[in-house]
Amino acid sequence: MRVVLVGAGGMGKAWLATILADPAVELAGVVDLDLDVARSALADAGVPDLPVGTDAVELARQTGADAVVNVTVPQAHHPVTTAALFAGYPVLGEKPVAPTVAQALSLVAASEASGKPFVVSQSRRYNAHAELFQAQARALGDLGSLATEFFKAPHFGGFREEMDHVLLVDMAIHQFDLARFLLEAEPVSVYCEEFNPPWSWYAGAASAAAVFEMSSGARYTFTGSWCAPGLETSWNGAWRLSGAAGSATWDGDHDPVVEGAQAGPAADPGEGIAGSLAAFTRFLADGTPLWGEVHDNVLSLAMVEAAVESAATGARVRLDDVLDRAHAQAVADERRDDVLAVLKGWGSARAALRR
């Protein structure tokens, strides 16, 4: 599979190294709005002669690529991915699927209208310990509660220290997505509070607490902070799961610890973005099912949007209401007739996402 990589920033460089290391994938070229950034990423990776460009579709056509990997900033996810899908290229894109659920629904419809797959790389699912934790969750029978504590104190500098809802939008989407994966259930509603401790070095709320009701009846609770020095958790967070047949904890970095019914061994899904890329390659080659197909991924972003809305209003927010409002917004904003026809043809966004 020959791919064009779009976006050569911090995460783009990690993707560049991952693509070069995967024997099933060939890098056709690198696109960035800033050509010097693209050139220097290629030079740093030891492949300075590969083609560069500023337009993904143009470079994909010039180089005869098979697919596009979109690692641009979130604001560029919708335009870059839509253009690639309608030019005939399958797309693997970084999380979040888009900045808003409305744009995410437009991308679901664009994938349907173009007939090309769009997969969101939610790379924290690709983790052997998380896979084992999910197997353990199944062994514990009916599940009552899943909880994540996420406490870290990074000084990123740059956009994160200025953005609104920084913990919920930039970080918690990983844990919310993992909660869907671990519970094998979908979010129904959420109550959330977010706040910024007095010592925070972030402009937006760096701390949050949220309780989700899930479709299985289980509750998922998230508490976290990005300005919590001391006794820091792992980047995956610290997890606790309680089921009818016992309990399990996971520190995010090692195998889970269990008291109760034990699961057998679990398959290794590969690690992080390398696992995500390998799954995408297999999916395109022979249709092997994978995580993150855009229909499936939207609900992870919807959890974030619902939590932010709950924190702003002080009310419990239903996910169906978030999806209905996003659907109406997507219809109002859509500029492509073919995508609009798909959006209008859905009975409801929730029903469309179950496909």
Ligand X SMILES: NC(=O)c1ccc[n+]([C@@H]2O[C@H](COP(=O)([O-])OP(=O)(O)OC[C@H]3O[C@@H](n4cnc5c(N)ncnc54)[C@H](O)[C@@H]3O)[C@@H](O)[C@H]2O)c1
Residues that bind ligand X (CB under 6 A): 6-12, 31-34, 37, 71-74, 76, 80, 94-95, 123
> 173-183 vs 128-139: helix axis angle to the nearest 10?
40
Strand, coil or helix: what is 134? helix
Report in angstroms how near the CB of residue 80 gets to ligand X at its nearest.
5
Report in angstroms how near the CB of residue 10 gets to ligand X at its nearest.
4
Nearer to ligand X, 80 or 190 (CB): 80
Report in angstroms how near the CB of residue 344 gets to ligand X at its nearest.
28
Nearer to ligand X, 6 or 211 (CB): 6
Cα 182 from Cα 16, distance rounded (Å): 30
Nearer to ligand X, 175 or 207 (CB): 175
Report in angstroms how near the CB of residue 9 gets to ligand X at its nearest.
2
Nearer to ligand X, 136 or 300 (CB): 300
Element at 121 (helix H, strand E):
strand 118-121
Give the residue nearest to ligand X (CB).
Answer: 9
Nearer to ligand X, 126 or 346 (CB): 126
Nearer to ligand X, 122 or 136 (CB): 122
- Between CA 172 and CA 176, with CA 173 as vertex, the angle to 5 degrees is 85
Report in angstroms how near the CB of residue 305 gets to ligand X at its nearest.
15
Report in angstroms how near the CB of residue 16 gets to ligand X at its nearest.
11
What is the residue-wise DSSP string for 162-193?
Answer: TSTTHIIIIIIHHHHHHHHHHHT--EEEEEEE
State yes or no: cis peptide before 96, omega within 30 of 0: yes
User: Can you read off the two tokens belonging to residue 232?
Assistant: 């820091």
What is the residue-wise DSSP string for 7-54?
Answer: --SHHHHHHHHHHHH-TT-EEEEEE-SSHHHHHHHHHHTT-TTS-EES
